[in-house]
Structure 1
């Protein structure tokens, strides 16, 4: 990505040199960023106590800003475990006329919307994944997207395919994707949440969430997108943990030693039950 500073705006041009893996025929205008750049170091408002240094590491990391994966170039704190994608570090306060939502302005938010019932997080309208950190949100409607998704456009080029890819209308990418026989050329899956790109020349398709791997550094560093844990498994672990903590609290009056023994026995019983289920 090329960032050009001017007196009034910063432009992120998604048409870049040959070493980049994704580009677009559209220009997204970024107003002046809220942080101050000092050489290869920046002072970012979300981590003002320490400067952030631009580094390139091939290891997978989780961006502290958007809570999504990344690899390669990033801004990292040398004193603590704080890391930001480059596009998260330069996220502007406002996006005007964005190709994916040109009818309204998109406002940058450093904190996500609250999870419904404390469990279900709101989802990005582009990739379909949960929004747990930095987001761009529309005040006029419920549209929102990750900073990484803001780097996408209605038409993109990826190194994995020789032809331009065009974003399909949202109405054509519902949960019934599997029944439509649309197979993603990257993950080889049919049914997946989020928008879909289709080749303008052949029948190649790619999920928007898979296209993000060409932006966040995963593709450049040969890292497959990690699979998210099962929602059912996560809910079961949370429920069992709550039960154990609750019962442990009930037995506090009996003394710490007895309470620990009872809670440990419950945990052991749970593990035995799992093993029995696995063998049946």
Structure 2
């Protein structure tokens, strides 16, 4: 990593206004003051060391939201701590956010308890494992990256305006169409083109926000590897249980056969005594 000349450290302050414009495609910005420039540092509450701002093309995992990113990040020079720029700039609360305008959303640095069953983001459908905005009036929550999305978005991968579809309901939750980016069907909110039949998962749209797409990194690679590992582990467990059940079945069968044989032997002995 190249070393940039450090400018005087300043403390990132939050401005009083927490309002976000409802219709501002691909340009939602968190209200923070002052805005850091390249090479400058911030002191963030989540980390004891100064965090300079860098732009690097490699993939990294944000220590705040626990999700991947590339490009701009605040990166500690004394350890491996890194934050998305938007995670570092998250305000204490959001009012009138276009994805949940009816209630205030409060910033939380710790996830809800639940382990592997931890609640998921209501926008992208992925687990909320770190920084998140949560609603106090209902169960809605979303990642800071998802908070950068809006109800209408314009992306370089498609020439038309995309609108966010309403939340799907129903037992199957099958959208009936594949995403134009990942070519898959999956959970989470979906954008649909206002002109043609193009669809885009919100989780895929996040790659246009977190720097992965701009740096030529496929955002689904890590998930796919995890999915393969999960399937392999699942198959191994299923195989083990099948052998265990088979062994138990054989043992039970032998026990039953032995008991029947003993009963027959006892019955024959009793018959001889009666004769």
Q: Same fold (TM over 0.5)?
A: yes
Shift of 1:110: 0.1
Matched residue SS, 1:46: coil
Shift of 1:171: 2.5
For 2:73 and 2:171, how far apart are their aligned partners in 1? 33
1:171-192 per-residue CA deviation (whole Å, 9 max, x = no partner) reads 26975325x2x12110011x20
Task: Give unpaired runs (5+ residues) of structure 2.
Answer: 1-12, 244-275
Would you say the 8 A contact 1:173–1:195 is kept in 2? no
Determine which structure has more spread, i.e. the larger CA radius of gyration: 2
For 1:11 and 1:213, how far apart are their aligned partners in 2? 24
Would you say the 8 A contact 1:14–1:151 is kept in 2? no
Distance 1:234 1:162, change over 3 A: same
Give the TM-score normalised by structure 1: 0.70
Matched residue SS, 1:203: coil
Shift of 1:23: 1.7
Q: How does 1:227-238 map to 2 (within 5 A)?
A: 227-228=222-223, 229-230=226-227, 233=230, 236=233
Would you say the 8 A contact 1:9–1:32 is kept in 2? no
Alpha-carbon RMSD across the aligned residues, in angstroms, is 3.3
1:179-215 per-residue CA deviation (whole Å, 9 max, x = no partner) reads x2x12110011x2010000000111000000000000
Would you say the 8 A contact 1:96–1:102 is kept in 2? yes
Task: Give unpaired runs (5+ residues) of structure 1.
Answer: 17-21, 241-269, 274-280
Matched residue SS, 1:227: helix
Distance 1:234 1:177, change over 3 A: closer
Would you say the 8 A contact 1:15–1:23 is kept in 2? no
Would you say the 8 A contact 1:37–1:43 is kept in 2? no
Q: How does 1:147-166 map to 2 (within 5 A)?
A: 147-166=144-163
Distance 1:76 1:12, change over 3 A: farther
Shift of 1:8: 3.3
1:19-65 per-residue CA deviation (whole Å, 9 max, x = no partner) reads xxx725xx66x4557x9969711010111x21000001111000000
Give the TM-score normalised by structure 2: 0.71
Distance 1:58 1:165, change over 3 A: same
Distance 1:76 1:232, change over 3 A: closer
Which of the two has greater strand per residue?
Answer: 1
Distance 1:97 1:174, change over 3 A: farther
